Amino acid sequence: MAILLQAIMGLIAIGLVKLLLPKLDAHLRLPKDRPLILTAIIVGIAMGLIMLVADYWPALLAGHRIDDYPTDPVNASGWLFAMGITGLAEETIFRGLIVGMLVVLIPGRVRIGALDLPLAAYVASLLFGLAHYDSFLHNPLHLAIAQQIYAFAWGLAYVWLMEKSDSLLAPTIAHGLGDMVEVGAVIALAAAMPV
């Protein structure tokens, strides 16, 4: 429910900000020509596996059971559902609202190699990483830093998907699938190991 509430609040915020910044493009539409659904699925699976290794490599190397999520079918499926729809809320807020707003307020693009994104993408990706600050409160420093790095990189990837598809659909799918793959892998590994 909290994730759905965040998505609704993001949509309301987009509506309000659009009154002040009529040029805001939140990409709240279905893709027309290039939906990039298959690309989003591949990116999401890859992201989930990278997050699994980045977040849990010490436990994985040591062969320790990871008990971060319940393994019983009812609670595990609830977690997987919640992770699957996380992209709905976070993409609405970070890519739809924040990137859309910042593109109007700080125009310009930055090219790094073949990657050509609006300056707003880098600012919003930094904010997206910082939104995961609680990792510093619960994890060793090296794991918290790893999460900041991949959250920043994922933020750029989500903007790339949004721009290429001209919609929030592809980044929403990639984001939700990535979170679901990581949590699903942790649940599966825990269920396969003795208590």
> Region 112-130: what's the mean pLDDT?
96
Q: What percent of the chain has pLDDT over 70?
A: 100
Tokens of 165: 């598809």
Mean pLDDT of 136-148: 94
CA distance 88 to 75: 21
| Collapsed DSSP state (helix, strand, coil) of residue 28 | coil
Would you state the pLDDT for residue 44? 98
Tell me, what's the pLDDT at 77? 97
Instruction: Give pLDDT, residue 179.
Output: 98
Whether pLDDT at 195 is above 80:
no
Q: For residue 126, count CB atoms less than 10 angstroms from its CB and return exposed for 0-12, middle for 13-18, buried for 19 or more.
A: middle
Residues 185 and 49 sit within 8 Å (Cβ to Cβ)? yes
pLDDT score at 152? 97
Length, in residues, of the chain? 195
What values do phi and psi take at 24, rounded to 5?
-60, 125
Q: What is the pLDDT of residue 194?
A: 80
Residue type, 60: L
Read off the pLDDT of residues 47-89 as tens digits, 9 standing for 90 and up.
Answer: 999 999 999 999 999 999 999 999 999 999 999 999 999 999 9
Q: CB 135: neighbour CB atoms within 10 A?
A: 18
> Where are the strands (E) in 30-176, listed by range?
109-112, 115-118
Q: What's the rounded mean pLDDT across residues 5-10?
A: 96
